[in-house]
A and B are shown apart, each in its own frame.
Chain A
Amino acid sequence: MEYKTLTELSKELTTKKISSVELTQFFLERIKSFDKKLNSFITVTEDHALQMAKQADEQRAKGEAGRLTGIPFAQKDIFCTRGIKTTCGSKILDNFISPYDATVVKRFNDAGAVLLGKTNMDEFAMGSSNENSYYGPVKNPWDLERVPGGSSGGSAAAVAAYLTPGATGTDTGGSIRQPAALCGISGIKPTYGRVSRYGMIAFASSLDQGGPMARTAEDLALLLQTMSGFDEHDSTSVDKPVPDYLKTLNDPIKGLRIGLPKEFFNQGLDSEISKIIHDAVREYEKLGATVKEISLPNTELSIPAYYVIAPAECSSNLARFDGVRYGYRCDNPKDLEDLYKRSRSEGFGNEVKRRIMIGTYALSAGYYDAYYLKAQKIRGLIRDDFMKAFNEVDVILGPTSPTPAFKLGEKMNDPVSMYLSDIYTIAVNLAGLPAMSIPAGFTKGLPIGMHLIGNLFDEERLLKVAHNYQKVTDWHTKIPEGF
């Protein structure tokens, strides 16, 4: 079988060229064959998947199938799945079986998608390399000595190696886009509030947003359609109609105004990547887009602001993992304090502990104004930069990551250098904007991602812009050797 996109598989199921059970078996086989190399899944739900596939085929026989009915799919292990282990990449949740489904999971289940399993991730979505997982690092299928990016590295690697046609990711500071870029696939982080966060284990609540990862923008449109929309269980989800993303996907982009932020093309950016992005810009010009340089002057403040806000929120969000009600509990606690200290010390990994400590400090009496409030003000400035830019342009284009996939272990002892790999993506989360990464070329055999940033709730345009590019290029069709 060829490496078909999720959209193509959906058509094959519709025309009954293949059944969901056959398709599910195909992907389960691939997971069995290849995931030993990649470690992209924490849990593979084989029996459950085959049962769901069977139901999907029955539904189709009754003529009740939708576009995702019977499509094999993977969920990042940050989404709660009822009756299925949900670890968030952490030892502290290694024994946690969720009693309920996240809204995103429920929507995919209702759409008839078949859950293949739960993908690996940086612990509590904290990391840019997937090396912070209790379940071991994920390898990049383009070079097994390199990282897939993070935190949705398992989903990215699994899609890139075609172990699943699509998966969910979550993006707090770039965790969908950066691994999508490093693994050569497409991923979209929707506008904050577009996709429900209910049942998505919180890292930094004001920044977290779930989104789909797949081979093409067309696949993303289909998946995002299913994920999006108001959820009464999430007060921050926005009650705004979801447009039909597929309907406008093929509309031409003549006259599209593209902005290139000069801050995204300065020192620190790999020159090869710069060239690849400028090649992509020329493709857009050929399609009738106009291009101009813009400025996002506060970009460099985004990393310090982010590394106050995200840890502050995480220090509070992760307080519930205390060994009292569920999850890991230390052996023989001698009293309450010992129970807390050892359960959390033994249950959390280093990066999580580092951020809890930074966040606790930033929120402490006497420091709150200097750190948290100041960071919130910077957040406002960054948002203003974008809003000003969107008065002049329709989308902002740049590189997703300053470098291609780096070597495993390369940055583990240098957290600041690791944090800098999210320099282009973080500002987008601080501003709550939608953005995506799509494959735009290769350097030394490693994929490079192009970053497209849209205005609030402008996912429709982003998907169209990406799809137009993918119609005239073939970077997104590449499959790593050996898979």
Chain B
Amino acid sequence: MEWETVIGLEVHTQLLTKSKLFSGASTAFGADPNTQACAIDLGFPGVLPVLNGEVVRMAIKLGLGINAQIEARSIFARKNYFYPDLPKGYQISQYELPVVSRGFLDILLEDGTSKRINITRAHLEEDAGKSLHEDFQDQSGIDLNRAGTPLLEIVSEPDMRSAKEAIAYLKTLHSLVVYLGICDGNMQEGSFRCDANVSVRRRGETKFGTRTELKNINSFRFIERAINYEVERQIALIENGEKVLQETRLYDPNKNETRSMRSKEEANDYRYFPDPDLLPLVISQDLIESVRHELPELPQQKRQRFMDQYGLSAYDAGVLVASRELANFFETTVKASGNQPKLAANWVMGELSAALNKSNLEITDSPVNAEQLGKLVLRIHDNTISGKIAKTIFEALWNKEGDVDDIIEKRGLKQVTDTSAIEVLIDKIIAANPQQVADYRSGKDKLFGFFVGQAMKESGGKMNPQQLNDILKKKLSG
């Protein structure tokens, strides 16, 4: 039996504002409990919300970034439920009329093709506080610093068909919101949180299966694992003749399993209604245009430009634009390389990325800066060094042993390009290996590699490979 997975994602991005959605209190992370909550955040009697204008600009940015409709008029509603970390007894959110609707993101799949994921809506809402269940001896503590922090919830259509697609979508969205400067993207601190709606169906089936909602998973890796676990759980249920229940489930990363949190029957009736304390949010075309002028080049545009301007493949361009920092690093490298984009891309995505991964470093912390890497590429291109030697130099750069040219000079790594010197060396090798020469000449073409190896060994790898090939071929054919 072949199964198809159906995934829709709800992403809560914490907007990068200085103050809260409806109050002037600070949103900085990590302050002492309840020191960043004013009377409004605490839900004191008589207080009223006033919308933070910066939040609106950020919502417009997202809307433009996902090619969506930015609604001229949207409504804040109250979502009513009781919980100690929800001071007013309701959360101000957008329900029927969200600020952004009908957008999409094109994601890049591993096979190099791209897929369009539709985005139903994005709406503004305030975050709740935090309940602290430890350290209070049978009681719970409440920290309301986070209460009222602005969130933009971005809801996709159920367009993803595997955990890998879900991750590709999340990474694309993550990179977009960071590019836009509306979210710091910090998943550990909860700035980018994801709920996944997951269901399975038999391939060919047109109706969706019953879905479960996986809550608040805080890393790409866990999201992938949680979805995969859930898919297997659902398939096993159905294959055993049981039914998937519509419910909310919590992923436990320690046990790598999902557990039921509450069923559909237990779900709250949130009694949504328009918040009478807030006027409809009206966005003029002028405001949208003024925000459009502030937009940076977005990942998808940048990817296209990298393909057009540098002749990169869609895959390479996609990897390089994943973060603004990486893209900037690449472009600086290209500039310093005397415009060798393909070679530069290979080095950034190959040697450099591998070294960074191994040391668990971000591109911004790279010990080799883009100018040095570009110069290294330049020296490969102008035949000063071979690709193989370049790896040695890269290691030296990584260890901060100096400038590219200094290292080449100091270590005598300059490539041998003097034809007569190469000929002398080859003559020597031919003389020393008569049997191999005879075999080669009698048709054992594979032995060509043996002579190249010998030559490189003799020269310490400094021989220009192309010249070596040419001369060797000529001499061997004798």
**A199 and B46 contact, CB distance less than 8 A:** yes
**B44 and A326 contact, CB distance less than 8 A:** yes
Q: Which residue of B lies closest to A199 (CB)?
A: B46
**A316 and B273 contact, CB distance less than 8 A:** yes
**B89 and A322 contact, CB distance less than 8 A:** yes
Cα(A301)–Cα(B160), bound, Å: 50
Contacts of B277 in A (CB 8 A): 202, 205, 235-236
A363/B80 contact (C-beta < 8 A), A325-B43, A326-B44 known: yes
Contacts of A204 in B (CB 8 A): 276
Q: Say whether B241 faces chain A, with CB atoms less than 8 Å apart.
A: no
Question: Which of B47, B140, B276, B278 lies in contact with A198, CB distance below 8 A?
Answer: B47
Instruction: For chain B, residues 349 to 399, give those with C-beta under 8 angstroms from any C-beta of chain A.
Output: none
A364/B271 contact (C-beta < 8 A), A86-B45, A205-B276 known: yes
Q: Say whether B42 faces chain A, with CB atoms less than 8 Å apart.
A: yes
Kindly supply a per-residue 1/0 record for chain A positions 189-225, scoring 1 wherever the CB is within 8 Å of any chain B CB and 0 otherwise: 0000000011111101110000000000000000000
Kindly supply a per-residue 1/0 record for chain B positions 22-64, scoring 1 wherever the CB is within 8 Å of any chain A CB and 0 otherwise: 0000000000000000010011111111110000000000000
**A336 and B84 contact, CB distance less than 8 A:** yes
**B273 and A235 contact, CB distance less than 8 A:** no
A100/B44 contact (C-beta < 8 A), A205-B277, A233-B50, A372-B273 known: yes
Kindly supply a per-residue 1/0 record for chain A positions 367-390, scoring 1 wherever the CB is within 8 Å of any chain B CB and 0 otherwise: 010001000000000000000000
**B89 and A93 contact, CB distance less than 8 A:** no
Contacts of B448 in A (CB 8 A): none
Q: In the complex, what's the smallest C-beta–C-beta distance from A335 to chain B, in angstroms?
A: 10
Q: Say whether A80 faces chain B, with CB atoms less than 8 Å apart.
A: yes
Question: Which of A86, A96, A98, A325 lies in contact with B87, CB distance below 8 A?
Answer: A325
Q: Say whether B298 faces chain A, with CB atoms less than 8 Å apart.
A: no
**A365 and B269 contact, CB distance less than 8 A:** yes
**B43 and A363 contact, CB distance less than 8 A:** no
Q: Output the residue of B44, B50, B78 with the most chain A CB within 10 A.
A: B44
Interface SS of A by simple majority:
loop
**A202 and B90 contact, CB distance less than 8 A:** no
Q: Output the residue of B44, B88, B271, B277 with the most chain A CB within 10 A.
A: B271
Q: Output the residue of B43, B78, B89 with the most chain A CB within 10 A.
A: B89
Interface SS of B by simple majority:
loop
Cα(A99)–Cα(B41), bound, Å: 14
A98/B276 contact (C-beta < 8 A), A316-B89, A325-B87 known: no
Q: Say whether B82 faces chain A, with CB atoms less than 8 Å apart.
A: yes
Cα(A86)–Cα(B39), bound, Å: 15
Q: In the complex, what's the smallest C-beta–C-beta distance from B223 to chain A, in angstroms?
A: 30
Q: In the complex, what's the smallest C-beta–C-beta distance from A86 to chain B, in angstroms?
A: 7
**B48 and A234 contact, CB distance less than 8 A:** yes
Cα(A368)–Cα(B51), bound, Å: 26
Q: Say whether A102 faces chain B, with CB atoms less than 8 Å apart.
A: yes
Cα(A93)–Cα(B45), bound, Å: 9
Q: Which residue of A lies closest to B85 (CB)?
A: A324
Cα(A80)–Cα(B48), bound, Å: 13
Question: Which of A100, A234, A312, A340 lies in contact with B273, CB distance below 8 A?
Answer: A312
Question: Which of A96, A98, A233, A316 lies in contact with B48, CB distance below 8 A?
Answer: A233
Q: Say whether A313 faces chain B, with CB atoms less than 8 Å apart.
A: yes
**A319 and B46 contact, CB distance less than 8 A:** no
Q: Say whether B279 faces chain A, with CB atoms less than 8 Å apart.
A: yes
Q: Say whether A232 faces chain B, with CB atoms less than 8 Å apart.
A: yes
Q: Say whether A320 faces chain B, with CB atoms less than 8 Å apart.
A: yes
Contacts of A232 in B (CB 8 A): 50
Contacts of B51 in A (CB 8 A): 235
Contacts of B80 in A (CB 8 A): 315-316, 319, 363
Q: Say whether B142 faces chain A, with CB atoms less than 8 Å apart.
A: yes
**B279 and A319 contact, CB distance less than 8 A:** no
Q: In the complex, what's the smallest C-beta–C-beta distance from A316 to chain B, in angstroms?
A: 5
Q: Say whether A466 faces chain B, with CB atoms less than 8 Å apart.
A: no
A197/B48 contact (C-beta < 8 A), A100-B39, A312-B273 known: yes
**B276 and A201 contact, CB distance less than 8 A:** no
Cα(A88)–Cα(B272), bound, Å: 26
Q: Say whether A228 faces chain B, with CB atoms less than 8 Å apart.
A: no
Kindly supply a per-residue 1/0 record for chain B positions 80-109, scoring 1 wherever the CB is within 8 Å of any chain A CB and 0 otherwise: 101010011110000000000000000000
Question: Which of B45, B50, B269, B278 lies in contact with A80, CB distance below 8 A?
Answer: B45
26 A-B residue pairs with CB within 8 Å: A93-B45, A98-B44, A98-B45, A102-B46, A197-B46, A198-B46, A200-B46, A201-B46, A204-B276, A235-B49, A236-B276, A236-B278, A312-B273, A315-B271, A316-B80, A316-B273, A320-B43, A320-B87, A322-B84, A324-B87, A324-B142, A325-B43, A340-B82, A363-B272, A368-B272, A372-B273
Write the residues of chain A forming the contact surface with B, with a CB cutoff of 8 angstroms.
79-80, 86, 88, 93, 96, 98-100, 102, 197-202, 204-206, 232-236, 312-313, 315-316, 318-322, 324-326, 336, 340, 360, 363-365, 368, 372
Other A-B pairs, 6, CB within 8 Å; known A233-B50, A319-B89: A98-B45, A199-B46, A201-B45, A234-B50, A315-B80, A363-B272
Write the residues of chain B forming the contact surface with A, with a CB cutoff of 8 angstroms.
39, 42-51, 78, 80, 82, 84, 87-90, 140, 142, 269, 271-273, 276-279
